[in-house]
Structure formats: structure tokens, C-alpha cells
Amino acid sequence: MIDGGLATAARAWMAQDPDPVTRSELDALLAAAEAGDAPSAADLAERFSGRLEFGTAGLRGALGAGPMRMNRVLVAQAAAGLAAYLLGRGGHPTVVIGYDGRHNSSVFARDTAEIMRGAGVEATLLPRALPTPVLAFAVRHLAASAGVMVTASHNPARDNGYKVYLGGADGGSQIVPPADGEIASEIARAAAGTISALPRSTDYATARESVIDEYVRQTAALASGPSALRTVYTAMHGVGWETASAVFSAAGFAAPAPVEAQLHPDPDFPTVAFPNPEEPGALDLAIETAKRVGAELIIANDPDADRLAVGVPIAGDWRRLSGNEVGWLLGWQTARRLQAEDRPGTLACSVVSSPALGAIARRYRLDFVETLTGFKWISRVGGLAFGYEEALGYLVDPDKVRDKDGISAAVAVIGLFTELAAAGTTLEQHLAEFARTFGGFASSQISVRVADLAEIPRTMARLRADLPSRVGGIRVEQIDDFADGFDRFPPSDLLRFHLSGGGRVIVRPSGTEPKLKCYLDAVSTEGPAAERVAAAEATVATLDAGMRQLLAG
């Protein structure tokens, strides 16, 4: 038997759930639990142990019935809470809503539009599944008060999510405190009632094609000229291809060879274990295609096309450039352009990204800012000319979009490689010049995926209780704990170790996945370029072994 209160909560949830699939799922689970099935009882208890927390990343979680899952009830409550928040700010608020190709994305988006309009907020729905950067662009282009994007980005197929942007003084960036807490409070008030009582209206607008056309036009305008570079493109079963191919054509780029098996939206992501181009094996089909067609570059977007992965042929084989390497190259490209145009500008990256961008800024006498992780912070940096974070996110056109954009970043990368080819310079030569100019930088990452989310705070607490004096034998010179805020940073669950010789280690929980993440960086400025890089890589390898030992306890 299960607790009577739990059964009552489950039945109340079913009574207001408009989705027959999740209603049936919960009904079967409740029946099994009441019949004495222990796993069903535990599953039911977990689903009603709280509710998905609305924060600066909005909502994200596995699809399913109950308040700890993503479903139409939870989305309706979120939409009602956001509507109340916008109406409470006064004026005549407007919202634009986008969605990707995941399971239920279009349903969640329409629910949001109907509830927003029913509450008195002018709502505009994008006309079909489109990349997240198009939604971020539309918030600014339509001068909307807010934007909602239904997506779980590169998460597994079972997930979906709900991202919120604010217009006006927020400039179309994702929410940050205190807005997240204020919206969460309104959502909690909406959740106190039933969603069947929420007014709805189908009198919302559908965005015109001119919105997408203008995104394409402005993004293509970033290209410095046409390109005959032979590229391969994969959408990773997401929504990037239609928009990206239109941008490439408008920019005068040669049409890429597509990875056909991954080109069109498929919410089950059948050819990859995780639809994240960072994951091992995710680019295997793209590499096969590149070898077959004799390509010079691989361009890979994640499923909502806000991230970019770059594959390159080096030493007779293909490899993916790290997010930091692409960040260095695009940051250097931006710095050179600003210098040529005699313009100021700020380079920015998240605190977990490589220190290399700071070295570029110093060399070119540009401002440099580090932020907490997330483009909600990077996009708000004053005077921003370029921003990136190591998780394949790049912002190359802050005037158009205040979020990472994997399509405009692809335009910048194709432009850079076209320039190198025209100058007769290989990527290896360009990277060697980087090491000679700024130092040899190396980075790596440890990701510890957990089944029990409670393991992450336990590990962070254990590290804080016994702070290391050495990592892999290298002396720790300083430890920064961001838990209560550090310097100008707001509080964050993050530890940063500064090591002898310029090495650095950062440990934090992932903001979007059940992982503990550890970021390792090193730099060397002694000797020729190859020796600098080798020395930095050796330090990172030492830090990797040391941190794995520490994390294992």
C-alpha cells in the first residue's frame, strides 16, 4: 500500500491533466503501486517528491506524468506564472514562443501561446520548429517583452525543457536573478489551483516568414565574402538544417554535403547515444561523409542549433576541435578585426573556459570579462564583441542575438578557414602561430555522470571539508570558493584551484545534466610552439590523474 496523501495527489494530477498519454501512464503507475508493486510505489513517490525547479535555466527534465517531470500540466503552470509576472511589470506585455523538434515541443508551445493569450499577454508563435537562435533573434527583432523556447537542447531524447528570455532592459537575454525567483513564485501560485481553471485563447498570432528571412539575411551578412570551402554539415537530428542551409546559400558559401541520416528532425535521435556533438562517437557519421566527399571542414549543430562543433583533418585523420580551441580561434579573429577597424570591444567567456581568451584581450588591449557559466551572463557583458564558453557555445554577433548561436558561429568558422586557405596557411600552422603569440594552452574535462543526484552535493561537500593542498603532485597555491559569492561573482556551487606553474582546476555541478564536471587548464610560454603545447598538455594529464583520484574519494 502507498500513503493516502500520495494517492490523492496523483488522482488530483490526473483530473487536471489534458494529455491522455500521461494520464494513462499515471493511472497505471498508481494502480500498480496500490496493488503492492514496490518499484511502482517508489517511482510514484519520486514523481511527487517535489516539482521541477524553475531557475535561470528555466525548466528541464524527463517527459512524463507528475510534478517532477516535463508535461502539459507543468508547462501550463509555468506559462500562467510567466504571464502573471509579465502583467505585473505593467504596460502591454508581448511574448514570442518557439519550439524545436522534440517530443511534445509543439504541444507545449501551443499550450503556452493559448494560456498567455488567455491571460491577456499578446502572444506570437513561430510558424514551425526552428533553432533556438531564431527565437532569441525574434525577441529582439519583434521588441517582445519576453520569449519562450521549448527545447532540451542536446539532452537525451527523454527530456524536454522551457527557456525564458526577457526583452526591454534585459535586451533579449535569458533570465537571471531576481527574475527567476519572481517568476517561480508566480508559478507556485498558479500551481495552487488547477490548470483547467486557467483561461485560454487561440487568438494568438503566428509569426510571419519575414522574421526568419531577416534572421537569415543578418546572419549571412556576417560573411566577409563567398567561400568554395568543401564542408560537411550535420543537424544531429535537430532543426538546424533548413535555417543553416538558407544562411550558407545567402552568404555565397558552397552548399555543404549533408549527413543525410541526421539531417531532419527526429526526436528519438536514432544514430547517436546522446545528441550532443561533444559526446564520443557523435560525429562518426559526419567523419565518414567527410572522408567520402573529400571535405575540408565539418560543421555540426546540436539539435536546437545553438551550439557548434567543428571537425578538421589534422595529420591525416579527422578530429573535433575542442570548444576552447574554437573559442580561441574566433576570439583571435574578432580581436584582429577590431584592431583593423580601430574599434574597442570586450571579449568575454565563462569562468570555466580557457584563460586563453584573456591572453588575446591583453595582447590586443581589449577589455576582458569572465562570467559564471551560461550565456545568460555572457550576453549581458557591456560592450561585448565576442563571447564563448567551452561547451561549444559562441556569440559572434551580439547586436543580433543575445545568446549562443551555432549558425552564426558556423558562418564565422567557414569564413576563418576560407581566409586561411586563401593565404596558403594550414590549421596546424595557424595553431602554432597562436602558441607562439599567446602561449601554449591545453584544456581537458572530467565528467562524472551520476544516477543519484544527491551524490553531486555530497561530493562537493566532501571536497570543501578536505581541500587539497596538491593535485597530482602539483602544489595548490590558492582556492576560490564561490559558494557565498566570490569577488564580483554571485553565489555559485563552484570551486577553483590555482596551481603552481599556472595550472587551474574548476569543479562544479552541471547546470543541465546529472553530472559533476571538472575543468582542467594549463599554459606554457617557454620554448618553441610545439614544446609549449606539449608542456601544457603534460600538465593537464597530471591534473587529470590527480583529480580523478580526489573525486573517487
Give the pLDDT confidence of 365-401 residue by residue, as tens digits. 999 999 999 999 999 999 999 999 999 999 999 999 9
| pLDDT reported for residue 1 | 66
Among 153, 245, 350, 492, the active-site one is 153
Phi, psi of 347 (to 5 degrees): -100, 140
Residue 513 pLDDT greater than 80, yes or no:
no
Q: Assess whether the region 323-437 and the region 439-552 belong to the same CATH fold.
A: no
Cβ contacts of 184-188, under 8 Å, gap ≥ 24 = 184/53, 184/54, 184/55, 184/81, 185/81, 186/80, 186/81, 186/82, 186/84, 186/85, 186/88, 187/54, 187/77, 187/78, 187/80, 187/81, 187/82, 188/81
Of 393, 392, 405, the C-alpha closest to 321 is 392
Domain ranges of the chain: 1-47, 50-207, 212-320, 323-437, 439-552
- Dump the DSSP string for 357-422: HHHHHHHTT-EEEEE-SSHHHHTT-TTEEEEEETTTEEES-TTT-SS--HHHHHHHHHHHHHHHHH
Positive or negative, the CA dihedral 56, 397, 404, 445 is negative
Q: Is the distance from CB of 222 to CB of 394 less than 8 angstroms?
A: no
**Coil, helix or strand for 532?**
helix
**Prediction pTM value:** 0.95
Helices then strands, each counted (H, E), the chain: 17, 22
Spatial neighbors of 385 by CB under 8 A, at least 6 apart, are 334, 338, 345, 346, 347, 366, 398
pLDDT digit string, tens, across residues 189-209 = 999 999 999 999 999 999 999
Q: At what angle do helices 132-141 and 209-220 cross, to 10 degrees?
A: 100
Residue 16 sits at φ, ψ, to 5 deg, of -105, -5
Lowest mean pLDDT among 413-417, 498-502, 513-517: 513-517
439-552 topology per CATH: TATA-Binding Protein (3.30.310)
State whether CATH 3.40.50.880 applies to domain 323-437: no
Cα 211 from Cα 511, distance rounded (Å): 31
At the fourth CATH level, which superfamily is domain 50-207? Alpha-D-Glucose-1,6-Bisphosphate, subunit A, domain 3 (3.40.120.10)
Residue 417 C-alpha cell reads as 578557414
Q: Which of 227-241, 299-313, 477-491, 526-540 has the lowest mean pLDDT?
A: 477-491
Amino acid making up residue 205: A
Beginning with the edge strand found earlier in the chain, give each strand of the sheet holding 440-449 in spatial order. 440-449, 515-524, 504-509, 495-499, 474-481, 470-471
CA atoms within 13 A on the CB side of 224: 12
pLDDT at res. 315: 81
- Place 261 in a pLDDT band, splitting at 50, 70 and 90: very high
For residue 79, the model assigns a pLDDT of: 98
pLDDT tens for 296-351 read: 999 999 999 999 999 999 888 999 999 999 999 999 999 999 999 999 999 999 99
Q: Which residue in the block uniquely carries the three cell numbers 563567398?
A: 226
Find out whether 551 and 518 touch, Cβ atoms under 8 Å: yes
The CA distance from 313 to 330, in Å, is: 18
Q: Is the peptide bond before 265 cis (omega within 30 degrees of 0)?
A: no
Contact 430, 420 (CB under 8 A): yes
- 153 is a catalytic site residue: yes
Over range 149-173, report the average pLDDT: 96
Whether the CB-CB separation of 305 and 132 falls below 8 Å is answered with yes
Task: Write out 263-285 in H/E/C secondary structure.
Answer: CCCCCCCCCCCCCCCCCCCCCHH
Q: Quick one: DSSP state of residue 175?
A: P
Question: Which three cell numbers, joined as nine digits, stand for 251?
Answer: 552568404
pLDDT of 510 > 80? The answer is yes
212-320 CATH: 3.40.120.10
Which candidate, 476, 486, 539, 538, places its Cα nearest to that of 508? 486
Count how many Cα atoms sit within 13 Å of the Cα of residue 501 in the half-sphere of its side chain.
23
**pLDDT per position as a tens digit, 74-129:** 999 999 999 999 999 999 999 999 999 999 999 999 999 999 999 999 999 999 99
Q: What angle do CA 515, 516, 519 make, to 5 degrees?
A: 120
**For 447-504, what is each residue's pLDDT tens digit?**
988 888 788 999 999 999 999 999 999 999 999 999 988 888 889 999 999 999 989 9
For 474, half-sphere exposure in the C-beta direction (CA atoms, 13 angstrom radius) is 24
Place of cell 543553416: 244
Residue that has been written with the C-alpha cell 610545439 in this structure: 530
- Name the grid cell of 300: 555540426
Q: Which residues of 255-273 are buried (b: 16+ CB within 10 A; e: fewer)?
A: ebbbbeebbebbbebebbe
Alpha carbon 236 to chain centroid distance?
A: 15
